[in-house]
Amino acid sequence: MIAIIDYKAGNLTSVSRALDHLGYENQITDETKTILNAERVIFPGVGAAKATMENLQDRSLDDVLLKFYNTGKPMLGICIGIQILFEHSEEEDTRCLGLLSGHVKKYPAHNRLKVPQIGWNEVRQVRQHQIFEGIPNPAHFYFVNSYFPVPNNAETIIGKTTYGLEFCSAISHNNLIATQFHLEKSGRVGLKMLDNFLKM
């Protein structure tokens, strides 16, 4: 069973429907036992870093996510789910989970670019990884973000995207995979990447 972390954010049902389409049993849950017993965990959603961390902490889900990560079982973050993995976000000066060394920055003011970035953009694979099996390089995915992750360890970066500047859009570290783009909203290639994760 695949556990989708329920921290009262939006977009959770879209991920659940994508997993249903792929034929994987899944449950949107905030129950510690269910999460820790799951084969895999997905942490998706949209929203602000501070509100996300507060919702996680109110339900002790920050500790549950750390415990699950330490089991070594596969874990996937999507959108806000990549940002809160790092140590700190500029968004409301938020301390995050700290699973990855680095921080999250806001896009700089740019006359020709709208913030947030909303829409399709190109992801370039900069390191081979099984999550990209069968995915063209480059490929287009759907983004909704005003902030972007800046890992301290460049070796964790497996995908990059340009929106005014080049930024990290996909990471891998041990049993952890995360994307700034929305796999569940990215059509065939997004579903393929989800399926790759679920077969890891």
Segment 117-175, tens digit of pLDDT: 999 999 999 999 999 999 999 999 999 999 999 999 999 999 999 999 999 999 999 99
pLDDT tier at 58 (50, 70, 90 boundaries)?
very high
Please identify which of the residues 91, 168, 173, 184 carries the catalytic annotation.
184
Give pLDDT, residue 110: 74
67-107 pLDDT, tens per residue? Answer: 999 999 999 999 999 999 999 999 999 999 999 999 999 99
Angle at 90 between CA 181 and CA 81, to 5 degrees: 30
* Domains observed in the chain: 2-199 (3.40.50.880)
Query: What CA–CA distance (Å, rounded) separates 120 from 122?
Result: 7
Instruction: Name the amino acid, one letter, at 162.
Output: T
Give pLDDT, residue 125: 98
Please identify which of the residues 91, 96, 173, 182 carries the catalytic annotation.
182
Query: What CA–CA distance (Å, rounded) separates 89 from 102?
Result: 9
Q: Is 88 considered catalytic here?
A: no
Q: How far is CA 81 from CA 49, 78, 88, 112, 134, in A?
A: 9, 5, 13, 28, 24
CA dihedral of 45, 50, 53, 58, whole degrees rounded to 10: -110
pTM for the model: 0.96
Query: What CA–CA distance (Å, rounded) separates 131 from 125?
Result: 10
184-199 pLDDT, tens per residue? Answer: 999 999 999 999 999 9
pLDDT tier at 111 (50, 70, 90 boundaries)?
low
| Mean pLDDT in residue range 6-31 | 94
Cα-to-chain-centroid distance, residue 158: 13
* Structure tokens belonging to residue 27: 């449950």
Give pLDDT, residue 9: 80
pLDDT tier at 45 (50, 70, 90 boundaries)?
confident
Please identify which of the residues 79, 96, 168, 173 carries the catalytic annotation.
79
Cβ 132 vs Cβ 139: under 8 Å = no
Query: What CA–CA distance (Å, rounded) separates 50 from 101?
Result: 18
Q: Is 184 considered catalytic here?
A: yes
Instruction: Report which secondary-structure segment, H or E, holds 193.
Output: helix 187-199
